[in-house]
Structures are given as C-alpha cells and as structure tokens.
Structure 1
Amino acid sequence: MPGPTLDPDAAARVASFGPIPPMHERGLDAVRAGVENTPVPDDMPAMASIEERCAPGPDGPIPLRIYRPTDATDASVVVYFHGGGMVMGSNRSFEPLARALAAGSTATVVSVDYRLAPEHPAPAQFVDCSAVTTWVAENATSLGVDPARLAVAGDSAGGSLAAAVTLAARDCGGPVICAQVLMYPGLDRDMAAPSMVAMPDAPLLSRADIDYMHELADDGVGAPHDAYRIPAYAEDLSGLPPAIVVTGECDPIRDWGERYAQRLRDARVQTTLTRYPGMYHGFLMRPDGTARGRLAMAEIGALLRAKFAEPLPF
C-alpha cells in the first residue's frame, strides 16, 4: 500500500532541495556539513536579544544560545533541544525553529548545544539536556525567568530528549516542568510501526537514514533500553506535565509520537496531539518553508502561551 501524499506546498519545498543521497552513502562528516552549511533565512523573527552562554555540566561547559523575544509578556522560559538523530545539528542550524518558538510563545528560549554521538556516546546527550534544564531552574533569577513557568521542547531526536528530561524530572524530584513540546519525536525504536512500514523511502528521512543514525548513536552503548534514552520504553507515564505532540502525516516515525501521545492520555496526562496533513519529517526546522509549518508554530505558541498564563498551583 503506498504511503500518504505530500501537501503541494511541502512537495515544492522538498523538490527545492534536489536529490539527496542516503546518509550512509555520504558519510557523517558530509551529512553534518550539509546541515550546518544550509543558509538560514533572512526574515527570521526578530529578537530583543540573543546571548551566547555556557551552563556548567558534569562533563564540562555546555554551550547555550538564549533568545529573548520582542513581545515577551512574562518571564516564561522554554529549554529547547534540537533535532538531528543525536549525531548532527547545532544551535546555529536550528536557529529558525528556536526563534519561531520564542516569537510564538513569547517566552525566553534556551537552546542547548548538547554533545553529539558517536564522539560522545549516550547518555551524554541526555546528561547535557537534563543538566541545562536544572541549571535554568536553579538560576532563574539571574536569567530573568520564572522557574514555575518552565517548559521543555524538542524536535525529532530533540523531542526524545525533551520527553526523557521530563521523565527524569518526575522521577528525581525536579525541576518542575509545566509543559513538554514533542515535535515529531524520535522516541521509539519500533521499526515495524505501520508508518515506518508504509514509508521506508519517505522524503528527507528514509528507513536507511534512520538505521544509519541509530547505528551511530548506539555506538559503544551497552544499555539501549534505558527509558531516559528511549522514552517509549518507560513503563509509567503518569504524573507527567501536559504535552503538546506534533506529527507529520508523511513522516515514517509519525506513529512513534502518536502512540506516545495516546499512552500519555491513557495515563491521564493532558495531551494535545496534532497531525499535520501532507507534512514530512523535519518540516519545522524551517518553519516558514510551508503554510502548515507556519500554522504548526502558531498553534504551538498559542498552546504554550495559554499554559504559561494559567494560575500557579501554589
């Protein structure tokens, strides 16, 4: 059975990239260079300020980029983890998404340049993201943010990291996270999911690409079934903060996010799940690239603003 069809807007966007060989044929250095050398748009949302900082981590300083939007209405903050399969990506290459998140939510966004595999095997990525989230909460006053209005967000592999940080915060007694935003999260390893079977050659993320990134990310890892590494393996999802889950219809890992969202609902976690028709994996990396990308960021921003505006529970 053929997979779903790209939205015309998305199809034009994908066509603009031209032919893209599989990742394993290009090699990791070339794949990384391709991501980092892609120009960022000139018309990204304006920010009141952008600051480069480092947070202390257990294994050394962790680079951050802090975006403060021009329309900030309160001191809410989102700690953001970029995508890239745990093996590529940076604050620079995912700047358009981070800016759009800040502009849409009117919250300060702290974007985390976590260490990448395979040079830094798991759990280095989780350790860095968890450490920064705790640091933001503990240093809220000096950062000018409200620790009671702290959310986490991530796309693709970053969505998996956001889910993992949220699980760990629940299990370890903090920090308090008021919302989790999981954009087409890569938080499972079920290669028999119906969306994976239906779309092995999906644009921009094929089954071969997923296998290649998993092989690199798993290099030297002895315990791949840790729930903080693969959140879908968590047995208990109760007691987690409200979730905003976004998927794309034409994404082979679509079912991973949707199944996780259903499990959150089953655990009585307030969950908003939106599938965007005709959208490919990674459609929010350049949010202005498609009409539905712009819509998704507007809806994510509105949901976060509503959450941040709720009365504090204490």
Structure 2
Amino acid sequence: MHMKTSAPGSSLGDSWDPDVAAMVDLLKGAEPLRNLGVDQARKLLESIERPPGPDMRTVRSTSIDGPSAPVPVRVYHPHRVPTENAPALIWFHGGGMIMGTLDSFDRLARELAEATQSVLVNVDYRLAPEHTYPAANDDAYAVACRVYDKPDEWGIDPNRIGVGGDSAGGGLAAATALRARNSGGPPLAQQILIYPGVERRQDRESMRAFGQSPFLTAEDVDWMKNMYLGEDPTTDDEYGVPALAATLTGLPPAIVACGHNDPLRDGVEEYGRRLQDAGVPAAILRYPGVGHGFVMQTANFTRARRAIADIGALAAARFSVLA
C-alpha cells in the first residue's frame, strides 16, 4: 500500500500550508539547535506550551526494568479501550536522541493513544550525550520485551503489541522491530514510523531542498547523530542506523509518514519502499505543506490533525484484524 497526498513543488517559499507558513515567519532568524547547545535546546523544547491532549481513563507513571537501570514510562489508557486484552503501542518520542521527555510529548502520546485506540506506553529512554549508543536502543528493546513478557500487568493482548516513534523515536522503533526479528523477540504486530531517523545525513533531493528548514537543518542532523552514534560512520550498525539493514524481510507491517518539506523525506520514503520490496505491508504517507516535527503541532496545523487521524485509523485497523 503506497499512499501519497502531496503535490509537486520543492520551493520552501511557496509550498508551506498557510498555518505552517505563519510559524515559519515567526521562526525566521532563530538560532539552529547546534548553536544553542544541548542544555538550551532541551530547555527550549520543554518550555513550549501545548494545550492538554484527550482525557484518558487512566494515566500511570511507572518504570520498567532496563538493561542497567529502571526505564521510566507513562502508560495511557483511553476510555474506549477495554481494560483487558487491549492492543498496545510502545512509543519512543522524538528529540534527536538528545532531548525530549514524557512531559513534552504528553499531548502527542494522548492523541496517539486515542487515535489508535490502544494502550500507549511512552518510553523515557536515556539521552545523549550523557548516554551514547546503544543506551537508548537497549532501553527501547528492553521495554518491548518486558511489556510482552508481562501483558496481564498492563491489561494488554501480547499478540497485539506495536512499536512506534516520531523522528529519533521512529528510528528507535525501526531498530526495535529489526532487533525483535533478529533475536526472536516479541512478535510485533506493527511499526509506526513518523518521519523516522533511519540514516545519517545523505545527499538527497529533499535534504538539498529543505536542509535549511526552520524546523530541522542538515547541520543539526549531523550534530545530533554524532552525539549519539559518534562521529565515525564506519562503526554504525543496523540498530543505530536502520537503513543499513541488509534485508527488511520478515518485519512487521508498517506505517511510514513524512512531510513533503522535511529534509529527511527521501530517506524515510526509501526505507518505506524497501519494506514494500521485502514483502512487508507498508503504507507510505506523504503530507504536503508541512515539515519535520509537524505532528507535534496539532493545536496549530490542520495537516497535523489529519495525519494523526490517518495514522490512527490505519493502526487501529491493523490491531482490529488481529483481535
């Protein structure tokens, strides 16, 4: 399944949705993240005010045993989701592997739980530069294994567990799916990859056209990747850089979504096509007029609300056929 919702066009100036263009104007002259540094970038993300997300039946903050220490998680249970044998979505938030918390991604977690009609487990994995590769990957996989091993503790169906993430978290979700396949781990029902970071920066058309986007620059991609993976790409493997995987055969069905104006777009969509070529059912969704990080802006962007609805409907349908 290959779905695209975009129109041709590569100019930054004439291809933003009107509500996105207003934010682009506000962000003109803003310092790139690499100039702010890690501490200020983190403070900036946490300082953004977001309206509360959908009300939940329960929201539970706890922790799950990790490879070296407990991993904090926040578990969202929507009202319409049963309290037993429910589908579950393990979510890894974005933030370039260096920033992001359960608080700054609370609204998105609530929206995704509601849209996918699943119990959502939001994972507070360790961040770089304090914790470099493979710390976050190990946390991600450990949570997936623990949730699968103790489904009754969460009221979930072990045969309907998916993984997903946005941006850096999408890369973690893709890596977790690869690791589960390779290691005989949890039989994941699906993977939801929203503009996932599946590769280091490559010389692609979207990177050239949108690499100076106010939402993500090419140089910031390098800066953040280097802090987590290190500066030597010859040491990379398929878990740190999922695009390096020799084969994608045998992975769970996927939803792969990206904005037309995202510098990561072409690499993301290539990963989606590789999934399709490997026989993996994969919906590739491209949204015009928006850039990187747009699903975090449902309060401001019409296209973000549409994307959450689309992704949620596809994910809920996948969970439903497995019930």
Provide TM-score, normalisation by structure 2: 0.92
**Does the alignment pair 1:38 with 2:48?**
yes
Pairing 1:265-284 to 2, within 5 Å after superposition: 265-284=276-295
Which residue, 25, 28, 38 being the options, matches 2:38? 28
Partner of 1:48: 57
Cα distance in structure 1, aligned partners of 2:147 and 2:35: 40
Helix, strand or coil: the match of 2:270?
Answer: helix
* 1:163 alignment partner AA: A
What are structure 2's unaligned runs of at least 5 residues? 1-9
1:10 is displaced (CA, Å) by: 1.4
Partner of 2:3: none
Helix, strand or coil: the match of 2:20?
Answer: helix
1:213 is displaced (CA, Å) by: 1.0
CA 1:218/1:300 → structure 2, altered by over 3 Å: closer, same or farther? same
Which residue, 139, 144, 169 being the options, matches 1:158? 169
**Does the alignment pair 1:67 with 2:69?**
no
CA 1:222/1:246 → structure 2, altered by over 3 Å: closer, same or farther? closer
Partner of 1:144: 155
1:251-276 CA distances to partner (integer Å, 9 max, x unpaired)?
00011110000000100100001100
Helix, strand or coil: the match of 2:62?
Answer: strand
CA 1:267/1:85 → structure 2, altered by over 3 Å: closer, same or farther? same
Cα distance in structure 2, aligned partners of 1:160 and 1:222: 16
CA 1:78/1:32 → structure 2, altered by over 3 Å: closer, same or farther? same
Indicate the percent of aligned positions where both proteins have the same amino acid.
Answer: 42
**Does the alignment pair 1:135 with 2:146?**
yes
Helix, strand or coil: the match of 1:309?
Answer: helix
* 2:55 alignment partner AA: A
Helix, strand or coil: the match of 2:59?
Answer: strand
Partner of 1:199: 210
1:6 is displaced (CA, Å) by: 1.1
* Kept in 2: contact 1:96–1:286 (CA 8 A): no
Which residue, 13, 20, 23 being the options, matches 2:23? 13
1:77 is displaced (CA, Å) by: 0.3
Partner of 1:167: 178
Partner of 1:89: 100
1:82 is displaced (CA, Å) by: 0.3
CA 1:290/1:123 → structure 2, altered by over 3 Å: closer, same or farther? same
Partner of 1:114: 125
Helix, strand or coil: the match of 1:33?
Answer: helix
Cα distance in structure 2, aligned partners of 1:146 and 1:239: 21
1:36-90 CA distances to partner (integer Å, 9 max, x unpaired)?
1212213x11111111000001110000000111121560000000001111111
1:107-145 CA distances to partner (integer Å, 9 max, x unpaired)?
000000000011001000100000001111011011111
* 1:23 alignment partner AA: L
**Does the alignment pair 1:102 with 2:89?**
no
Cα distance in structure 1, aligned partners of 2:165 and 2:40: 24
CA 1:45/1:16 → structure 2, altered by over 3 Å: closer, same or farther? farther
* Kept in 2: contact 1:224–1:230 (CA 8 A): no
C-alpha RMSD of matched pairs (Å):
1.7
* Kept in 2: contact 1:122–1:221 (CA 8 A): no
Helix, strand or coil: the match of 1:34?
Answer: helix
* Kept in 2: contact 1:52–1:65 (CA 8 A): yes
* Kept in 1: contact 2:229–2:240 (CA 8 A): no
Cα distance in structure 2, aligned partners of 1:112 and 1:300: 20
Which region of structure 1 is more displaced relative to structure 2, 96-105 or 199-208? Answer: 199-208
1:18 is displaced (CA, Å) by: 6.1
* 1:34 alignment partner AA: L
Partner of 2:135: 124
CA 1:132/1:104 → structure 2, altered by over 3 Å: closer, same or farther? same
* Kept in 1: contact 2:251–2:280 (CA 8 A): yes
Cα distance in structure 2, aligned partners of 1:88 and 1:221: 22
Helix, strand or coil: the match of 2:249?
Answer: coil
* Kept in 2: contact 1:121–1:220 (CA 8 A): no
Cα distance in structure 2, aligned partners of 1:223 and 1:143: 40
What are structure 1's unaligned runs of at least 5 residues? none
Count of equivalent residues: 311
* Kept in 1: contact 2:201–2:222 (CA 8 A): no
